[in-house]
Structure 1
């Protein structure tokens, strides 16, 4: 399926209409080319700082201080490797992971992959619903049920972006990421962590994760970091740049996009690290080592830090986290539906369907379990994501290894070995997380 430039005023999320829509100036200075290629990595990075990541990072920092910080770093480095593979696949082939899967596998396998990918998007959207609802609850003192219903209005945001350019979407995402980042910079200034202890937490230690509970949390951090639908998303959105389809043009695009990917995921790493550091400094260091959910963290911040401003910043950053994922979830949904099924529906309809499927378990869980359902449902959403991950990783690595498909841009031996090692470790860790969650181990 060939992409084409937009001819109608549609939303900027439809991948079939935005390939090559962002101009790249040949022979431009290095800094200008970096700016022209910057953006797709930001859309992907949002998935690495959503409310599901908040839940695992807060619990890890509260219970074990800074000692699991190295897990956040290693998980983020693994994500950088895998997202770079996804980016390279999209640029080198001119197709995304979902499209290539449709070309290479049987219809039955493709339908199975599509169902699993859709489940991962709904699970991620569930975390966004819960995070947004909790933010509304904390900021405006409304019930969680009302907060959940308010999150349905984000479809109006998607409608409001009809006719906007893809660069406009990237600018909005940058603004939301900046909101989260600035919020946490101020939070850390207020909390005053012990930076020598933070540095010690960056040192990998098997002894730290030797116990059952810290190992469970470490795997939870890993499971919440690498999200399957982001791999489909990244292989598509990198194609928004108009590059020459020759060896030099493709190689240059891959180099520029690699910088964008690593820089964007570095921002996500810093924000995730900041969440854990905040929890460690504010809670663990003050004897509150049982803060295991976001709402408790919000309530304790003000009395511990000595100002209600810290709690408000926390809630605003949480709201920005949930809302930013709304956009990327819509893009990913379009990519997956078009790629696997060759089916395109209006983006607002796509958003409405996904959000409706996420609202149902959120409302049922809150009605049955009360406010305590938020933490449990957030963990459940991460487990569902964990289940899908190997089914996206395997074809990604196989395809980027394939010289017939990738040509000179196929994985070299060191990359191939690293990628398959990550597949084994991440898949095993996620399977263990699922077994632990359901009580099988």
Structure 2
């Protein structure tokens, strides 16, 4: 028995025999393709092999329209620059990005054919008016940004082919899209799909012909699929991933399937067939897209990559053999280069605007290569403008529930996109702006715009395809696939955040702009949370645990979802207040005598006494503002993740969730610690530095956590924010794996003797704390010393191992256990206070919420 259809409200009425033919005629009149159900196929065809080419061709089409977003001018420039600036080494990234893209597109297709509605329609119905409106505005902005890229890309191709100015090419492109879309209006969707396939084949012919002209070395190409990334290629790697997966494309695919194909969604076999053939359609289209993108990357990697240019002090550049003299993008005495083919050139920026001339020079001033390149770019720009217009129409209709004529929608968006495109074109035509770097900069910022919008397509998609009420129990994605999808989504969000940071890092910003940026980022996170609020509510309602105990108490029937997170955060901060002096003594002991320096303290009590005498009571609470932020985020996240991770691990290993084994508990606690520590690392750095600061008054390093974050970001950049993150994650794994697993095991035995009471919790915590301190203190010492480094003065340690080796050499073997006593002693009191405070805060929160 195959998967069943979704719940009744989402099903189309079953057509009777008398109405079927009229319904088909109406669908054909609208340009929709009527899919013949499996059970209605001729008996001889049903007896054939599972795959039927005739059936596949009925489904084929939406995947090819969707794939054009992987081949727009923005992607082509990203491919080109990946080859120029990094060589062959990012081929594996291109493959991985297309694989993740295929997964997301298959999910988008599944949403369309199972529910008969597009993602935009589900957003309008599933979210409130406020959230839905914000999502619509953001998506429209992303579509307009993509439209600008496509218009500029086509204009560049017109200039390369016919020598016309960029601004005129923009106007031609803005107008000719109406001509192409008239074909869909007059002849239906299938004509447009056939035209798109033809355009993609033209791109294949052009770019593979160029590949044949360049003739890259097969061994070098093959080595590019072995994962490795040089330091200078990291930003470009992130750019490739960010350019490949476009937000509006996820909306487009579900809309194309729900609006251009009629599926009998009451028939389980028809849904199974649709799942196979739509996935195959998307897979074939993206395989072709992958080969085109790789052909461009490989062509330019062979002819223009030079390690000397890639590591140039002026920035990552390519070795351009067409350049007669340096373009001013690097120092004159550092611009000479030799490419992999032994040809002389200069280090310059290479993009769409000069890529054709560079190729022509590479193969002996032949205009054939330049013409092929220009034709391929023109085909990409023209075709992608059509699908961009379709995406805009479907998004507007889905979010607003309005039917907008395509010509009117195109007129509005194209007019909006034309203004900035013309501004860029005119600026590019001036002497000051005439360089490949200027257009590339515009393209980079437009890719940033897409990156900002990406979560607002990914998160709603995963929300709806994982909801059994929307998809039906049999078509909602399972726990394993859901875990993979969420991991991919979070990875993409992190990658795009890094891309955004790399673009903004060089901009000067004062404290006001920094604070404004932090506030904007906070709003951004809130909006992302709104997109998956039901998942967050369920997660926090049933999984939140008060740190550092795993409290298994039944929630009151009227307890709101936010009660446990708020109570847990306040409880951990309260416990931190009473035990913070012990933590300060631990940090001071770990830093004492570093690198042969003065050993200021003989133990925990001596450290507390001297800090109080020299710096007052405020010295014992240095960095407490950072600790409050840290505890509110880290403890809540770590212990909220513990139970879900434990249960998921049990399910994967086939164990009973009620009696998880020790290895499962160690793994769940450790992974939760890694995720939590990675997220709060910047706050942890500030806390350590403030605790280790011996200065008082105005001479202090940082006034508070926010002053510290601002100063660290502006003076040290991403390096300061991420310093010590690896040992922090390693320490977190060891602490949480040892502490949570040991606590679980000890509590089970101790409760049998002393009963389920506070004394049992205290004893279990002290034993768990001792084990955790034994295994984690060496890493904790290294983490503290790494974080305390002033990176503006250089690094004292290269990493965890280097720090431990130097510590043992200069201070002896037992130096790696500095701070062991306060590290352990703090656990018991902290646990008891957190337990009592949690209960009291929870009661008050329940009272307030009711």
Using structure 1 for the length normalisation, give the TM-score. Answer: 0.93
The answer on 1:346 being equivalent to 2:346 is no
Aligned counterpart, 2:234: 215
1:394 to 438, 451, 459: 459
After superposition, the C-alpha distances for 1:27-86 in whole angstroms (9 at most, x for unaligned) are 356121111111110001000011111111111101221011111111111101110110
Please tell me whether the aligned partners of residues 48 and 268 of structure 1 are also in contact (alpha carbons under 8 angstroms).
yes
Deviation at 1:221, TM superposition (A): 0.6
Deviation at 1:158, TM superposition (A): 2.3
Instruction: Say if 1:5 and 1:95 are closer, same or farther in 2 by CA, change over 3 A.
Output: farther
Please tell me whether the aligned partners of residues 57 and 221 of structure 1 are also in contact (alpha carbons under 8 angstroms).
yes
Partners of 2:367 and 2:36 lie apart in 1 by 46
Instruction: Say if 1:6 and 1:113 are closer, same or farther in 2 by CA, change over 3 A.
Output: farther
1:152 to 155, 158, 174: 174
2:132 to 93, 110, 114: 110
Aligned counterpart, 1:170: 193
Deviation at 1:336, TM superposition (A): 0.3
Deviation at 1:25, TM superposition (A): 6.2
Q: 235-244 or 56-65, which moves further after superposition?
A: 235-244
1:24 to 36, 46, 51: 36
Instruction: Say if 1:151 and 1:5 are closer, same or farther in 2 by CA, change over 3 A.
Output: farther
Q: How many residues get paired?
A: 430
Please tell me whether the aligned partners of residues 23 and 36 of structure 1 are also in contact (alpha carbons under 8 angstroms).
yes
Partners of 1:85 and 1:165 lie apart in 2 by 26
Aligned counterpart, 1:228: 247
Please tell me whether the aligned partners of residues 33 and 58 of structure 2 are also in contact (alpha carbons under 8 angstroms).
no
Please tell me whether the aligned partners of residues 130 and 378 of structure 1 are also in contact (alpha carbons under 8 angstroms).
no
Q: Which has the larger radius of gyration?
A: 2
1:424 to 490, 494, 512: 490
Deviation at 1:266, TM superposition (A): 0.8
Partners of 2:488 and 2:384 lie apart in 1 by 25
Map 1:44-193; keep pairs closer than 5 Å: 44-154=66-176, 155-193=178-216
Instruction: Say if 1:366 and 1:399 are closer, same or farther in 2 by CA, change over 3 A.
Output: same
Partners of 2:25 and 2:498 lie apart in 1 by 45
Deviation at 1:5, TM superposition (A): 7.3
After superposition, the C-alpha distances for 1:186-232 in whole angstroms (9 at most, x for unaligned) are 11111101011100001112xx14x2x41111111101011111111
Partner SS, residue 424 of structure 2: helix
After superposition, the C-alpha distances for 1:348-377 in whole angstroms (9 at most, x for unaligned) are 111121211111111112333534442222
Partners of 1:291 and 1:278 lie apart in 2 by 16
Partners of 1:272 and 1:257 lie apart in 2 by 22
Aligned counterpart, 2:522: none
Question: Unpaired segments of 5 or more residues in structure 1?
Answer: 11-16
Aligned counterpart, 1:280: 301
Aligned counterpart, 2:539: none
Q: 256-265 or 404-413, which moves further after superposition?
A: 404-413
Deviation at 1:162, TM superposition (A): 2.5
Aligned counterpart, 2:223: 200
Structure with larger RCO (C-alpha < 8 A, sep 6+): 1
Partner SS, residue 130 of structure 2: helix
Deviation at 1:296, TM superposition (A): 2.0
Aligned counterpart, 2:263: 243
Deviation at 1:153, TM superposition (A): 1.4
Please tell me whether the aligned partners of residues 123 and 358 of structure 1 are also in contact (alpha carbons under 8 angstroms).
yes
Instruction: Say if 1:5 and 1:225 are closer, same or farther in 2 by CA, change over 3 A.
Output: farther
Partner SS, residue 210 of structure 2: helix
Aligned counterpart, 1:327: 386
Aligned CA RMSD, in angstroms, stands at 2.1
Deviation at 1:9, TM superposition (A): 11
Question: Unpaired segments of 5 or more residues in structure 2?
Answer: 1-9, 14-22, 306-339, 507-717, 719-850
